[in-house]
Amino acid sequence: MNVLVVSGMWPPDVGGPASHAPEVCEYLLRRGHGVAAVTMADCAPAPERYAVHWASRRTPLVWRHVIAARLVARLARKADIVYSTGMIGRSSLGAALARRPIVLKLTSDPVFERSLRWRLFGADLGAFQDARGIRIGVLRRIRDLALARARRVIIPSEALRELALGWGLPTEKVVVIPNPVSPPELGEREELRRRHGLEGRTLVFAGRMVPQKAIPVALEAVVRNPDVSLVLAGEGPYLERLQELARSMPLDGRARFLGPQPRQAVFELLRAADAALLSSSWENFPHMVVEALAVGTPVLATHVGGVTEILRDGENGLLVPMNDPEALAGAIRRYFDDEALQERLRAAAVASVARFSPDEIYGRLEALLEEVASAHES
């Protein structure tokens, strides 16, 4: 089977899609399949064992989309199937022009993501489903046309699946396959704490600085725990305003924003932390939760969306209602004041996410791609 993998992000970009696409390519290559990749980049990606084709992000917007769609179409003609983890409109159009089947992976509502970038909406993904407006309506139409072309739509969580079915997707087309986690080699926890300057009771957040992460709730919870610090790794459109908010709060420097960090550093921070903190108002499949547990670190989080498909209250973390700083502050106090609880949660962390191993997850993806490619040939 020859597979064309399409991704809007690629190393050195930081984020889940930038890690996922190369991992898929390597897995399929090891399994004996032909692989090529298409991505958007600021400069030529580093050489791989397979061809990585790219279109420049520096090209003007409309022309950039045209170039990417044409690139996908040209390369898809040499493939049996297209697997796209981003650029769904361009991927779908390119696959259609090449008359090749396409499997799309969604990690969020692409209309919501675009609306955030364009500042059309400022709340969370769940609330966005009721948002209205001409531009939002047009974006939804484009999304639905791309999804209609897909043979299968892969979604990482039941929470996002329920939303996607509300867009009119047929149930038989939507397949839930979680995201895998594969931590890199890490050193001893105390050495990692020294390396990253973590002292005393420290929580870590790693992710995008966007409204649905509800980071102001996390900051307020930390204010209520004066002996606790919070380290935040990530970037996003709300980073500067969150930094300003933190400076205006009585935190005395206990909230430290690191900006975007490479994958290795994120895992090191999560391993070094006493616990990971997630205050989101909605989540699909929270990478940080799985990554923290995979390196043995419990998670204190809100009871929303896909979080509850990973985190079990009192077993590998603590769950509290969303948008409730006092409840989150209480969970932080309870965690740090109960050493037996910390030890129990930490002991259960790694085993609780064993089902997200790359071989398990990518094996399911490979089988799905082979099924779709075979059905197209027949």
DSSP letter (8 states) at residue 67: H
Partners of residue 317 on adjacent β-strands: 299, 313
Preceding amide of 260 cis, omega within 30: no
- Residue 30 per-residue DSSP state: H
Residues in the chain: 378
Task: Tell me what pLDDT residue 123 has.
Answer: 65
- Tally Cβ neighbours within 10 Å of residue 351: 11
What CA–CA distances, in Å, run from 270 to 106, 211, 276? 25, 22, 7
CA distance to 80, 229, 246, per residue, from 123 (Å) = 40, 26, 20
Region label for 67, one of left (φ > 0), alpha (ψ between -120 and 50) or beta (otherwise): alpha
Q: Which CATH architecture has domain 189-355?
A: 3-Layer(aba) Sandwich (3.40)
In degrees rounded to 5, what are phi and psi of residue 178? Answer: -65, 165
Contact 160, 126 (CB under 8 A): no
| Strand-pair category, 2-7 with 34-41 | parallel
| Residues ≥6 apart with Cβ < 8 Å to 341 | 334, 335
The 3-state DSSP class for residue 52 equals: strand
Determine the pLDDT at residue 241.
Answer: 95
Q: Max CA-CA distance within the chain?
A: 66
The structure tokens listed for 259 are 């900006």
Residue-wise over 289-312: b if at least 16 C-beta within 10 A, else e?
bbbbbbbbbbbbbbebbbbbbbbe
Run means of pLDDT, 10 residues per run, the chain, 378 residues = 95 78 95 96 92 93 90 97 93 96 91 78 74 88 92 94 92 94 92 96 94 94 98 92 97 95 93 98 90 97 94 97 97 98 97 93 97 88
What's the rounded Cα separation, in Å, for the pair 244 and 247?
A: 5
pTM: 0.85
The predicted pLDDT at position 39 comes to 95
Judge whether 278 and 297 are in contact, CB under 8 Å: no
Find where tokens 């089977």 sit. Answer: 1
Q: Under a CB-based contact definition with an 8 Å cutoff, are residues 56 and 69 in contact?
A: no
CATH topology (fold) of 2-180+357-377:
Rossmann fold (3.40.50)
Burial of 32 (0-12, 13-18, 19+ CB in 10 A): exposed
Instruction: Give me the pLDDT at residue 129, please.
Output: 83
CA dist 209 → 81, 134, 224, 280 (Å): 34, 26, 22, 11
The tokens of 38 are what? 């298409």
CA distance 283 to 280: 7
> Which residue, among 356, 357, 190, has the nearest Cα to 271 in the 3D structure?
190
Cβ neighbours of residue 134 closer than 8 Å, sequence gap 6 or more: none
Burial zone of 282 (CB within 10 Å; 0-12 exposed, 13-18 middle, 19+ buried) = buried
Which tokens belong to 45? 């990606």
For residues 114-139, one letter each, b for 16 or more C-beta atoms within 10 angstroms of the residue's C-beta and e for the rest, the string is: bbbeeebbebbbbebeeeeeeebeeb
The amino acid occupying position 363 is G
- CA dist., res. 12 & res. 5, Å (int): 17
Residue ranges of domains in the chain? 2-180+357-377, 189-355
